[in-house]
Amino acid sequence: MPVGTRAAVKAVDSDDLKQIDAGIILANTYHLMLRPGSGAIEQLGGLHQFMNWDRPILTDSGGFQVFSLDPLIEEDGVSFQSTVDGDPIQLSPESAVKIQEELGADIIMVLDVCVGLPAPPEVVKAEMERTLRWAERCVAAHERTDQGLFGIVQGGVDPGLRVLSARETAQMDFPGFGIGGLSVGESRSDRNLAVEAAVSELPSGRPRYVMGLGDPEGLLDAVARGVDMFDCVLPTRHARHGKVMTASGDLNIRNQEYELDTAPLDEACGCLTCTSYSRAYLRHLFRMKEISAMRLLSIHNLAYLTKLMHDARIAISEGRFASFHDSFTETRQLGSA
């Protein structure tokens, strides 16, 4: 899912996203509750009309953004200072649901407690348990029947806690499940073990969603373990710094070696950027700080990850995902060597 934190995926518009066949995008509860406000968006027809986006939208609960602000966490909810004007703000499980109902997303998330890793085991366990209690309150507060409310599994990188959290969350009968608290600096092996543990207790017929994961290798690692959905700012953030994702490894368009390179960013990509512009021209745009460079590189990176997921789905349906995964990993490693 391309990330439109403030109801906009950075540097691209709705038509760009449709051209790369993005099926769903993500917006952020925390940022939108501050500006322009969920009430204003509701009066303007909800996020779909506000953004001119007629495909699904998922809103996260704002938990990750809030907990990066070092808030006061109590059983009732969290208290923190607004990053806009410094005013005190309180967010509870009930208000997080109400805000997302006003935003009008198709999929909304429970309010969870994100723990920075590494953390003492007793802290990870306590906040995992708090997330379960908050999930029950979110279920009770949720009124809109045209929205799917997803639960969130926590537990750090402790497989035992992940199993317990997933088992308890699954019993609440959510239509889908987020796996939160990962992609925060843990090792690839620890993340994979945590994902495996969580997935083992989640129903196979409902979506499993690793929140905040967006590197190509990590995506396929998680798909191999039964995960269906992902979001991350990585593709557009990389684009703004000149980093390009390709089938043969990442490249930095700022490098001198591309000054006279007439090849597209990626021969295997059919996006607008790759079918229309050379590496040399894109390097020139980036060095001249042209705004179009951000857009064109963002389009490519988003198209690359969208196609990667498309190819993974085909490989799964044809019973060859394991070989697809191995080949992809080998090619990327060779390209990055």
Q: Which of 117, 108, 152 is nearest to 134 (CA)?
A: 152
pTM: 0.96
Instruction: Give the end of a domain, one of 203, 232, 261.
Output: 232
What is the average pLDDT score of the chain?
A: 96
Same-domain status, 187 and 40 = yes
pLDDT digits (tens, 9 = 90+) for 246-267: 999 999 999 999 999 999 999 9
Q: Considering the domain boundaries, does residue 5 fall inside one?
A: no
Name residues whose C-beta falls within 8 Å of residue 269's C-beta, 6 or more positions apart in sequence: 246, 247, 300, 303, 304, 307
Same-domain status, 90 and 70 = yes
Same-domain status, 120 and 245 = no
Q: Considering the domain boundaries, does residue 47 fall inside one?
A: yes
Q: Considering the domain boundaries, does residue 120 fall inside one?
A: yes
Same-domain status, 57 and 156 = yes
Residue 337 has pLDDT above 60, yes or no: no
Q: How far apart are alpha carbons 162 and 196 in whole angstroms?
A: 9
- Cα angle 85, 99, 52; round to 5: 95
Same-domain status, 204 and 272 = no
DSSP string, 139-165: HHH---TTSEEEEEE--TT-HHHHHHH
Q: Say how many domains are in the chain.
A: 2
Name residues whose C-beta falls within 8 Å of residue 25's C-beta, 6 or more positions apart in sequence: 1, 2, 3, 4, 9, 17, 53, 55, 56, 57, 58
Same-domain status, 304 and 222 = no
pLDDT digits (tens, 9 = 90+) for 94-105: 999 999 999 999
Same-domain status, 265 and 319 = yes
Q: Considering the domain boundaries, does residue 189 fall inside one?
A: yes
Domain containing residue 47? 14-232
pLDDT digits (tens, 9 = 90+) for 137-156: 999 999 999 999 999 999 99
- The amino acid present at 96, given as its one-letter code, is A
Helix axes 291-317, 216-224, angle to 10 degrees: 20
Instruction: Give the end of a domain, one of 211, 232, 253.
Output: 232
Residues annotated as catalytic are: 60, 231
Q: How far apart are alpha carbons 241 and 331 in whole angstroms?
A: 24
